[in-house]
């Protein structure tokens, strides 16, 4: 049982269809338990390309979290699985470019599956977006306002930093920070910086800060220095310190 996606006629220019076909082989090698596997592809009689991918019986990320009434810890585990999948894609020089709640499915067993890598783009492609056109550039197929990085809107060259921005927006929706969640606010703020160079250098780095936040460890996004680190140490070991003082 598989899912078959067909690109509508007229959405892709001829040159982009050729690139889509070239990328298919690369994307088929992207194997990860949290990424819906791309199995095959081809072209129907009218010339429209199609992809054959793993069928995921699940719900969009936010729908699943709401339906299951997930607490923060469970939501954090889902987010870390997403970061791990994105990191694997980036190691293969693949940028998803459209990480949104609807492109992250969660199975009935609670397994995260990223979908729609079929319209992703190799990170080393130096041609940039080339502009967003109504005639069918792939940028118009994979840009979701509210989740797309600012450089996507400007037609600038896309790097893995674009996915880091989208991950930050996903985190904000999945675990909405409260007024007292200063560290979570800092994590989201660093991930969604307008300047790509100011964001986390990798999905792993973002995931590590989320783990640190949950474990009451120093969060790199805080840039807190020694005093901040000492405060976190005291907070983690308050009982032992009080006992030692007594």
Q: Is 181 exposed, middle or buried (0-12, 13-18, 19+ CB in 10 A)?
A: middle
Residue 148 sits at φ, ψ, to 5 deg, of -75, 140
CA distance 160 to 120: 11
Q: Which of 40, 57, 71, 98 is catalytic?
A: 98
Our answer to whether residue 73 is catalytic in this structure is no
CA distance 85 to 26: 16
Alpha helices in 51-202 (DSSP H): 61-68, 72-91, 138-141, 150-153, 161-174, 182-191
> What tokens does 204 get?
């792993």
Catalytic positions, written as ranges = 98
């Amino acid at each position: 049982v598989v899912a078959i996606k067909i690109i509508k006629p007229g959405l892709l220019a001829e040159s982009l269809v050729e690139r889509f076909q070239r990328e298919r082989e690369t994307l088929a090698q992207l194997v990860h338990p949290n990424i819906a596997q791309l199995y095959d592809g081809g072209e129907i009689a009218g010339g429209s390309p199609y992809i054959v991918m793993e069928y995921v019986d699940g719900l969009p990320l936010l729908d699943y979290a709401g339906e299951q009434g997930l607490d923060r810890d469970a939501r954090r585990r889902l987010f870390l699985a997403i970061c791990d999948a994105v990191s694997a894609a980036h190691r293969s020089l693949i940028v998803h470019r459209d990480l949104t709640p609807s492109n992250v499915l969660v199975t009935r067993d609670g397994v995260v599956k990223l979908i729609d890598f079929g319209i992703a783009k190799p990170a080393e492609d130096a041609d940039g977006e080339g502009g967003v056109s109504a005639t069918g550039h792939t940028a118009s197929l994979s840009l979701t306002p509210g989740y797309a990085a600012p450089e996507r809107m400007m037609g600038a060259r896309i790097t893995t930093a674009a996915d880091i921005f989208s991950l930050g927006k996903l985190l904000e929706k999945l675990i909405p920070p409260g007024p007292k969640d200063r560290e979570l606010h800092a994590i989201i703020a660093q991930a969604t910086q307008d300047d790509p160079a100011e964001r986390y250098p990798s999905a792993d780095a973002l995931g590590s800060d989320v783990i640190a936040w949950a474990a009451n460890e120093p969060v790199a996004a805080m840039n807190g220095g020694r005093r901040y680190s000492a405060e976190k140490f005291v907070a983690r070991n308050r009982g032992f310190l009080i006992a030692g003082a007594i």
